[in-house]
Structure 1
Amino acid sequence: MPRLRLLPIIFALSSLSLAPVSTATDDIQTIKMTPKQSEEDVSHDYLVQLVARSTQLAEEHFGPSKIEFMPIMLSQDRVLQLLGIGGVLDIVSSAPTAKREASFLSVKVPIFMGLLGYRMMIISPEKVATFEGITTEEQLKNLVACQGTAWPDADILEDSGYKVLRVDKFEQMFEKLHDGGCDYFPRGITEGYGELEYYNENNPDKPLAKFDSILIHYQVPLLFYTSHSNYELAAKMQYGLEKMVENGELEALLKNHPVTQSAFPLSKWESSTIYSVPNRRLPKSVPTFKKELWLELNSQP
């Protein structure tokens, strides 16, 4: 999208400071984040807690921070463009691509310690029997997965022969499950159960179902990104998140947060069938060699 088309959005957010990292006082750094993608985006609270705690741990070396939110939510493409322009947004979470690694500064600690790459499926109740009858990966590939238009996941799945329907808005994916546009919505085991619970509580007349006897796995971490001019914020987040890994707080947050706790204990997945999908697009800059940053499930053949 041309930058000129973003000008109205920038002007609409003009109440926010136009410094790369604004300060409410000379001492407190304001970190501007995106709001929820939709009411179903229950993982947002986890991300906010992670930013708050990691920056708190870094206060001694980088000073205190506070978090503010953009007043409106935009598509991921527009959010990343705003991050690149600078001034109205300081940090976003996104799956890494070569382009994003070149365009922005990433904080090289996987937000969900790699568990985001293990995908359960949200489906319509009418499709439960279909999914329970799956015995081969080819059968799953013949069904249609809902994915975001700009999500790297869509490319990863298509590279391996999966059928994908790309959808612009997060909340639309749940509707596509009902109208038959998609057969399933793959979600990380750290996010899908919370999203499904929230959706069903608020849509009792048209509930959706889970299917997790089969998981899809591809290595796609979620990372925090900021602009190149925000190098101090990137360093602050890197320091704080590494501390959370070192002292066990990151794994503890995963185990205890209402959204992510359903993934634990990890031993519960030992009887699940896991179809591994290669991620040929994973940038080499992602620290896959740092084993302390990643959690893994035991796969069944």
Structure 2
Amino acid sequence: MTLTLTSILMLSFPVNAKANAKATQATPEPVIIRMAPKQSDEDVSHSYLVSLLELAIKETEHDFGPAKLDFMPIQLGQNLVLPLLDIEGILDTVASAPTRQREIQFRAARFPLLMGLLGYRMMLIRPEDEAKFLAISRPEQLKVLKACQGSSWPDSAILEEQGYNVIRVEKFETMFDYLHSGRCDYFPRAITEGYGELDAYNSANPDKPLLAFDKVLLHYTVPLFFFTSHKNFLLAYRIETGLIRANEKGLVEQLMRSHPVTKSAYPLQKWQSSVVFEVANPHLLKTIPIEHKQYWQSLPTRKMQ
């Protein structure tokens, strides 16, 4: 008998209670909200997303009741994990950058999980290439080099359409191998995640370390949202409501400033000496809440188009 991926996952844990299920006991059991696990050992930003989702749950417990997180037992790439949202009992929410197709297929909790800092990209490079990157002063110099990006990441299309040379890679951990072997010249990472990923990679690979380069940053507007299935829209509403409430209290920024993964981006004033190459995002959706200025942060940098 051949087991499909869905069959394996269904056998791994019981069917999940929906976020809008009514409590049948005087003291309701916590609703289980299932997330995807980290993509790889280098995916350190996953722990921040867990903390943020726990914050949203706590802020809405009075309205929706108790809940706790559980994790899908199999690591999958983003293009494989998103469709699992539509299979009841497998997965309830995934953090992903919005695209037109994802907005149609799934329900977004429209609060930017990194408050706009996801779009500021430092670069992981090989140590021997540092001098070459220090000599870069114009976008045209960077465009001739090869950037590692995920096959299904919206970032890939954004950079390609603005003339950047992108090598699309299927698996997250493979990008580090591509960079080390020379198949890519740099790996753009958000300033909220790149340093933690670098530490994790270098600790596991002391014989082939990589280097953080942040004298030049790329910047394009791209958020990260929690997505659910349309059937689980009440969970999306709960997450969005919880994040907005937490942000009104200053708790999202407080988490970002204190979490081991994201705190390296702060204080924001330290980026004043960095040069930013602005990259237009022609795919930016009208559903992105750009008008809510309190959801977004920006760096005090020198910008170049």
Bin for the TM-score computed over the shorter chain: over 0.9
1:288 Cα deviation after fit: 0.6
Q: SS of 2:243's equivalent?
A: helix
Unaligned runs of 5+ in 2: none
**Contact 1:101–1:283 (Cα < 8 Å) also in 2:** no
Q: Using the alignment, how far apart are the partners of 2:286 and 2:108 within structure 1?
A: 13
- What is residue 171 of structure 1 aligned with on the other side? 173
* TM-score (normalizing by structure 2): 0.94
- Structure 1 stretches of 4+ with a deviation exceeding 2 A read 15-27, 84-87
In structure 2, the residue matched to 1:29 is 31
User: Unaligned regions of 5+ residues in structure 1, if any?
Assistant: none
CA distance in 1, matches of 2:88, 2:109: 17
* Counterparts of 2:269 and 2:16, CA distance in 1: 46
Amino acid at match of 2:38: K
Q: What's the CA shift string for 1:111-153, capped at 9, x where partnerless?
A: 0001000000000111111101111110001101000010000
User: Which amino acid is the alignment partner of residue 192 of structure 1?
Assistant: G
- Residue equivalent to 1:11: 7
Equivalent residue number for residue 207 of structure 1: 209
Q: CA shift at 1:27, angstroms?
A: 3.3
Q: How many residues align?
A: 296
Tell me the distance in 2 between the aligned counterparts of 1:48 and 1:60.
Answer: 20
Describe the shift of the 1:64–1:20 C-alpha distance in structure 2 as closer, same or farther (beyond 3 A): closer
Alignment of 1:254 onto 2:250 = no
* 1:153–1:20 CA distance, 2 compared to 1 (3 A): farther
User: Partners of 1:42 and 1:171 in 2: how far apart?
Assistant: 12
- Residues 152-184 of structure 1, C-alpha deviation per residue, up to 9 Å, x if partnerless? 000000010000000011111111111111000
> Does the 8 Å contact 1:86/1:227 carry over to 2?
no
Aligned equivalent of 2:302: 300
TM-score by length of 1: 0.95
Match of 1:289 in 2: 291
The residue number in structure 2 matching 1:126 is: 128
Partner secondary structure for residue 226 of structure 2: strand
Q: Counterpart of 1:140?
A: 142
Match of residue 224, structure 2, among 222, 243, 257: 222
Identity of aligned residues (%): 52
Distance 1:247 1:99 in 2: 33
Q: Cα distance, 1:20 vs. partner?
A: 6.5
CA distance in 2, matches of 1:103, 1:287: 19
Residue type matched to 1:265 in 2?
A: P
Aligned residue for 1:78? 80
